Amino acid sequence: MTDHSELEADLSAQIEAAADLEALEGLRVAALGKAGVVSALLRSLGQMSPEARKTEGPAINGLRDRLTAKIGARKAALEEAALEAELEAGRLDLSLPAPPRRRGQVHPTLQVMDEMIAIFAEMGFSVAEGPDIEDDFHNFTALNFPPRHPAREMHDTFFLKPGADGERKLLRTHTSPIQVRVMRRTNVAVGAPQFEVFQDPPIRIVGPGRVYRCDSDATHTPMFHQLEGLVIDKAIHMGHLKWTLDAFVRRFFEADNVVTRFRPHHFPFTEPSAEMDVQCDRSAGQVKIGAGSDWLEILGGGMVHPNILANCGLDPDEWQGFAFGLGVDRLAMLKYGMPDLRDFFAADVRWLGHYGFSAFADPNPASGLS
């Protein structure tokens, strides 16, 4: 019997030493492939005598089987090692700091709008809305604007192209048309249906929303926000208006020492009409509420003009009430010390990151001060 132990030892050593799958495959082909040494030995069996084949056959087959098994084992080991290396290379270092993730922030205007609504809601007001695209009737005529009033000019108001019926719609210049829609029971829900308020008098609503005017500088932007107020009942008078607004301002600025004053003014839709100022200090280059001897106008208001009640189908001899309109962005600037109104609408996330509010942090919706 031919001794194959040297060949076996040699091939086994090479198999054990194969560094990778490619080298191992080379060895397999060299030993067991068609032209391999072991295959040649197997083929030589054919030329042997039956006696020789009896002993050589099992020896060579045994050699082939052992080498096949060794190659298989080495292959499994190399594959395992390759997988290990791959896993090691792609390992996640969980101790690394996570990349910063930008969190959403509530815009100061919406934060302040919510604060205002929360305060008026505590006083028993509901919320009503109206459309941004209004018609002349709701924005002007029903509110007693005379036909040639300057607000009806193109340079003050954004008008849309005339529709099929020739009517020119406009972007509402104030939230006062919400008053008309509530009294005429034609206000529409914008977005949330729970804001639908169809109500007969007595009425007590606030109407927040966007308003538009052709205007742009540090304190005016073409779009800004107002909050309208309307109270209609049998015996509502100017004193109720003053108390309501004083109470609101103290609660909003979270200071009991806020001083206000009413100045006579003119609005077509209220009689008498007034503007309300808050006392403030401007000496440090910043407006401070609750101190100083300067005044800052924050709203207009008055007793609802009898013409408006009549235009809205209410009998002025039976009903009366007050209305007011507050500038939401202006109050946000004052409360949170933001100097330029244009920043509100520049859509700069760095500004929002600085001045924005967390959506969930504050348990008291009427207070953003901490």
Interacting residues with ligand DAH (CB under 6 A) = 174, 176, 228, 267, 270, 300-302, 323-325
CB of 302: closest distance to ligand DAH in angstroms?
5
Pinpoint the alpha helices (H) of the chain: 5-17, 21-32, 37-44, 50-89, 108-122, 136-139, 177-183, 238-253, 306-311, 328-336, 349-355
CB of 344: closest distance to ligand DAH in angstroms?
17
Q: Which is nearer to ligand DAH, 11 or 299 (CB)?
A: 299
Token look-up 């779009």 returns: 223
Q: Which is nearer to ligand DAH, 176 or 320 (CB)?
A: 176
Which residue is at the shortest CB distance from ligand DAH? 325
Instruction: From 13, 106, 9, select the one nearest 336 (Cα to Cα).
Output: 106
Asked, as a colleague might, if the bond just before 150 is cis with ω within 30 of 0, I would say no
Helix axes 37-44, 50-89, angle to 10 degrees: 160
CB of 361: closest distance to ligand DAH in angstroms?
32
CB of 293: closest distance to ligand DAH in angstroms?
26
What DSSP line would sit under 133-157, residue for residue? Answer: EE-HHHHTGGGT--TT-GGGSTTTS
CB of 228: closest distance to ligand DAH in angstroms?
6
CB of 251: closest distance to ligand DAH in angstroms?
20
Q: Which is nearer to ligand DAH, 36 or 301 (CB)?
A: 301
The one-letter amino acid code at 69 reads: A
Q: Which is nearer to ligand DAH, 209 or 302 (CB)?
A: 302
Instruction: State the Cα–Cα distance between residues 298 and 282, nearest whole angstrom.
Output: 15
CB of 326: closest distance to ligand DAH in angstroms?
8
Q: Which is nearer to ligand DAH, 56 or 273 (CB)?
A: 273
Q: Which is nearer to ligand DAH, 237 or 354 (CB)?
A: 237
The pair of structure tokens assigned to 203 is 């009425």
Q: Which is nearer to ligand DAH, 244 or 270 (CB)?
A: 270
For residue 112, what are the contacts with CB-CB under 8 A and spacing of at least 6?
328, 329, 331, 332, 335, 336, 368
CB of 102: closest distance to ligand DAH in angstroms?
36
Asked, as a colleague might, if the bond just before 272 is cis with ω within 30 of 0, I would say yes
Long-range contacts of the stretch 241-249 (C-beta < 8 A, 24+):
241/301, 241/302, 241/303, 241/322, 241/324, 244/123, 244/322, 245/276, 245/299, 245/301, 245/324, 247/123, 248/116, 248/119, 248/120, 248/123, 249/276, 249/278, 249/298
CB of 324: closest distance to ligand DAH in angstroms?
5
Q: Which is nearer to ligand DAH, 130 or 302 (CB)?
A: 302
What DSSP line would sit under 228-293, residue for residue? Answer: EEEEEESS--HHHHHHHHHHHHHHHHT-TT--EEEEEEEETTEEEEEEEEEEEE-TTSS-EETSSS
Q: Which is nearer to ligand DAH, 212 or 357 (CB)?
A: 212
Q: For 361, which DSSP code?
A: S
CB of 304: closest distance to ligand DAH in angstroms?
7
Contact of 339 with 333, CB cutoff 8 Å: yes
